[in-house]
Structure 1
Amino acid sequence: MALALGAALAAVPAAGQTPFANAMAQHLARADSRAEALPVAAFYQAAQQQPVWHSAERVEALARALETLENDGLDPADYLRGPLKGSLGADGGGQPLAQAFARSRDDAEARAAFDVRATRALLLALDHLQRGRVDPEQQVPGWETARPARSYSMARVVAAVNSADIEQALSLARPDLPAYEALREALGAHRALAERASAPLVPAGDDALRRGDEGDAVTALRRRLAYWGNPWVLPGDPAAYARIDAEAPDLGRFDAEMEAAVKRFQRRHLLDEDGVVGGKTRRALNASVRSQMATLRVNLERARWMQPVIARRPGVWVDIAGYRLHYARPDGERWSSRVIVGRAGRETPVLHSAITHLTVNPTWTVPPTIWREDALPRIRRDPGYLSRRNMQVVGPDGARLDPERIDWQAPGNVMLRQSAGPGNPLGRVVVRFPNSQLIYLHDTPSRGLFKRDRRALSSGCVRVEGVRELVRMLLADTGSRYRLDTLLERRQSDLNVNLPERIPVALVYLTAWPDESGEVTFRPDIYRRDEALRRAL
């Protein structure tokens, strides 16, 4: 096809002829008026107002590069059959791009239309790579961070096109995040895995599989572990190496090597890392590769939104579904900790704000949902509930009320407040930031819960393991004259301390993301948010 196109192009009139120039001007004007507002004019300005898609080599390079967007979780058809629809024939997509280019060679109008449409296809791909295909503010309630700005050099994009290196042009817009590249590599590996024959499923059963077990179920487990990226659990057949005196391995025996592979698999899926294959581990092992590909696609989109969040220094962000908090300090040091987030039905929201102050020795005013659904029913059943928990009843003006004189069947506009102390659910310190949902980061007396692998346990706020260390860093990094240990010694309730500088904070939702070693982990979609984004994509 390339040779045929080369011969055909020899007869193409020079690009500077008036009919072609007029046609280009008309198509550029139409492109600038389109809703997506792609920087088409800026592209052709960098190209010195000349057409760029005038060789088969460049057009074929464009088609090949757009196909690679599958590993970014994007659909190449959106670019080949969207912006180029008018160049691909009446059906909008049955014709290869190179053929559409060849058909435009004898007509100035068709050549101009093809050139601008091909440019729009490339610019749309660049836009989606750098800024996300979906606007997060329209998709995610609470997303208040602006989409990443177009920051790639248009001159470098045009240079890449002129050298027929379209993949280089795409790399200029692709997020420069190690996490994004890890997700992209994982999707590529899963796409390759989807082309292979699937391993047998681990049979369902009431009994867990563990080290020392034997049988066909263990053999299936071994093959399933190898399928998910642990090939060493399936050793080669010694019969294939006649000169080596080796004994055939027992595939049906659950040995130490298999136990290590199970633990690695569990770690990648936020499961209890005990090496025992119970119900949750069995279901994760038997998941379809295409379901994991869908998870990777939606999180690649979230990663495209995340670039401004991760780039902040200093900046705090909470990975809700991964149960982790990350703090990037001004000097580049990164601190991470486990967190407890809201359970399903009392979800921790996605939000963006800035940390403004701390509360030391906080009292706790029971939030409306907990008051209505938890506290009030317990008070009605147990008159001693309030005194045991060191709680006071207060009116709208903050005055304390006598709980004995309140009709708890119809208590009216009252609130519950728990005194500061070792039993207070907020612990000794709270990190506060403005938001309409009364969400904050805080200490907790129930530190044993951090040992759980899945920690969607709270009523919406975020409990932080080692929050005192976080507070010490926030005070130091903002130049505060206060020291946490001194503040704790005062024993004053609700002691508010303003930070000299605001620290950006974001709470985000990610169901696939690399761990600290760079290995992509899959998390349960605890709030059932993936499907809506998958449909939007």
Structure 2
Amino acid sequence: MFRYRTRFLTVFVLSMLFSCKNEKEDQDFLKKVPGTREETIDPLAESSIIADFFLDATKAGELKLANPEAVAKYYKSQNFAPAWKNKALRKELLENVQSISKEGLDPTDYHFEYLKKSLADPANLDKQEKGQLEILLTDSFYRLLHDLYYGKLNPKELFEIWDLKKDSINIPQLMKETFSEASITKTLNSVKPHHQVYSGLKKSLAEYASTSEENITTVNEGPTIKPGENDPRIPSVVKRLKELDFSVEKDSTTAYTTGIQDAVKNFQQKYGLEIDGIIGRSTIRNLNKTQTDRRKQILANLERWRWFPRDFGNHYIMVNIPDFELTVVRDGDTVAKHKVMVGVQARKTPVFSDEIEYVVYNPTWTIPPTIKKNDVIPGAARNIAYLRNRNLKVYSAAGEPVDPSTIDWNAAEALNYTYRQEAGRTNPLGRVKIIYPNQYLIYLHDTPSKAFFEKNSRAQSSGCVRVQDAIGLSKYLLNNRENYSSEKIDSIIASGKTTKIQVTQPVKVYHLYWTAWRENNGTYFTEDIYDTDEKIYKRL
């Protein structure tokens, strides 16, 4: 048995040696062929050297690869053949790593300093160093492809709910195709986002990277400053507004005048704050944000857009949660925009997507679990009239009506009942709800509280999305149904009867979250209502 193993190993080693010898002879031959690019036949390392790195755990560990298992698997699939034979590709990869900061990523994550130093004069590297360079080039390329397509971070590890479906890519196959077709830049461009928001944020990043603020005026925290009041911080507010290029009609000592109010309102509008002219905690916090703070915010949003799907489809609805806006897009054109209200901090609207299936006119409202537990049951326990005042009825698991006076509101059994509000003028869902069935029980709907749409900050709901002119949106979704004209829908609503209608045209809804974008050659920011920007930036 021992002789057999010895004989086998001898044959294996000899075959490897002849293989390497033949490989070298092939390279020498190709160098003599007229018109052959020398770059394509200049491998950094021999296969045996590359294999040795992955067979020796100590050596593999010293490389500090970002994706050790994936890189090892790639080389194994190629019989440990060197990938970086083309000098031009090596140079092109280094150039892309050096410029990756334009995408909001850090070159040091991709072995930039080592690659720069080693590629400056690879001829002076010994065999082991060339093997290391070969492998680190591959690791760098693999991570670039991964981070540009999927993002550097995993959103599911950062957020309670992140349920966006996204096609996967075959990175090893992309690498093989790149080495064959010889274009690093083309491959990287094929995986990065090309949405106009992402492209705009890259321009904003370049602007904020080239400017800096020194010795900015800081507005001290303190009591809320209301129009007409006097406050010793007013001069600081005025100075800071001017630093941020907001025009202030008239300076003041301590009086909060109309002219200053106008500048504050313009500031609040640009940064997605409540436009009330009141200088409160949120306004002061945003006044004190520096260029560096805003640059961090841009970086966080670039990462978000790497998480988002590359293709939203031809027909979709996109809700930007912190901007309180819903956009309808068809064939690349914006068809309509609607103001929305979204979930409060304690009951966030989740990031996810699904396809619309139907609309319901004159909907009843079945109380969701969170509201049932935190609001309805405690309210009924305090005063049984809570249910009657809200037109709420109670049903058993079998769907039978239950007399509220027979329920022990302090016992767990109260959670087992269904609580439902019938359709009507005061129903929280208004006159229509738009359903895309999902595990989060989230949907678009009308609301009787339309005055809230006049506010600039609209985190008002328990998670669902309230839509301004939801009836108009529902009519749009049914505009391919001949039997449901605008007049017909109006008559259904007027009847008060709960009516369910299927949506037959495919329309997806995307609940997304981003707090910075480019518009009219400027960068706009909105309040990070769920406090996620800093969480992302710290991990980038």
Pair in the same fold by TM > 0.5 = yes
Q: Which whole-Å CA distance do the structure 1 matches of 2:205 and 2:289 have between them?
A: 15
Q: Which whole-Å CA distance do the structure 2 matches of 1:355 and 1:144 have between them?
A: 15
Say which SS state the counterpart of residue 35 (structure 1) adopts: helix
Q: Which whole-Å CA distance do the structure 1 matches of 2:355 and 2:484 have between them?
A: 19
- Give the Å deviation of 1:466: 1.3
State the identity as a percent. 27
Say which SS state the counterpart of residue 533 (structure 1) adopts: helix
2:162 matches 1:128:
no
What is the correspondence of 1:108-187 to structure 2 with a 5 Å cutoff?
108=127, 110-140=129-159, 141-147=161-167, 149=169, 170-187=188-205
> CA 1:443–1:15 in structure 2 vs 1: closer, same or farther (change >3 Å)?
closer
- Residues matched between the structures, number: 486
Partner of 1:327: 328
**Aligned with 1:453 (options 447, 456, 464):** 456
TM-score, normalised to structure 1, is 0.75
Output one character per residue of 1:412-459: Cα deviation in whole Å (capped at 9) or x when no partner.
432221111111111111111121121111110000111112111111
- Give the Å deviation of 1:111: 3.4
> Is contact 2:104–2:205 with CA below 8 Å preserved after alignment?
yes
Say which SS state the counterpart of residue 147 (structure 2) adopts: helix
> CA 1:297–1:533 in structure 2 vs 1: closer, same or farther (change >3 Å)?
same
Note the aligned Cα RMSD (angstroms).
Answer: 4.4
- Give the Å deviation of 1:341: 1.1
Say which SS state the counterpart of residue 398 (structure 1) adopts: coil
2:106 matches 1:72:
no
Partner of 2:240: 224
> Is contact 2:363–2:432 with CA below 8 Å preserved after alignment?
yes
Q: Which whole-Å CA distance do the structure 2 matches of 1:326 and 1:189 have between them?
A: 27
What letter is aligned with 2:497? S
Partner of 1:97: 116
Output one character per residue of 1:344-398: Cα deviation in whole Å (capped at 9) or x when no partner.
2222222222111111111111222222221223223333333333222211111
> Is contact 1:144–1:352 with CA below 8 Å preserved after alignment?
yes
Partner of 2:383: 382
2:310 matches 1:292:
no
**Aligned with 1:424 (options 418, 424, 427):** 427
> Is contact 2:328–2:335 with CA below 8 Å preserved after alignment?
yes
- Give the Å deviation of 1:278: 4.1
2:539 matches 1:523:
no
> Is contact 1:480–1:499 with CA below 8 Å preserved after alignment?
no
Q: Which whole-Å CA distance do the structure 2 matches of 1:14 and 1:495 have between them?
A: 69
- Give the Å deviation of 1:402: 2.6
**Aligned with 1:191 (options 209, 215, 218):** 209
Q: Which whole-Å CA distance do the structure 2 matches of 1:14 and 1:489 have between them?
A: 74
Gaps of 5+ in 1: 1-12, 82-92, 235-248
> Is contact 2:44–2:131 with CA below 8 Å preserved after alignment?
no
Q: Which whole-Å CA distance do the structure 2 matches of 1:522 and 1:217 have between them?
A: 24
TM-score, normalised to structure 2, is 0.75
- Give the Å deviation of 1:304: 1.2
What letter is aligned with 1:146? K
Higher share in helix? 2
Partner of 1:399: 400
> Is contact 2:164–2:351 with CA below 8 Å preserved after alignment?
no
> CA 1:107–1:433 in structure 2 vs 1: closer, same or farther (change >3 Å)?
same
Partner of 2:19: none
> CA 1:515–1:186 in structure 2 vs 1: closer, same or farther (change >3 Å)?
closer
Q: Which whole-Å CA distance do the structure 1 matches of 2:479 and 2:53 have between them?
A: 54
Partner of 1:305: 307
Partner of 1:315: 316
Gaps of 5+ in 2: 1-37, 56-64
> Is contact 2:234–2:256 with CA below 8 Å preserved after alignment?
yes
Q: Is 344-353 or 443-452 further displaced after alignment? A: 344-353
- Give the Å deviation of 1:326: 1.9
> Is contact 1:23–1:112 with CA below 8 Å preserved after alignment?
no
Q: Is 323-332 or 448-457 further displaced after alignment? A: 323-332
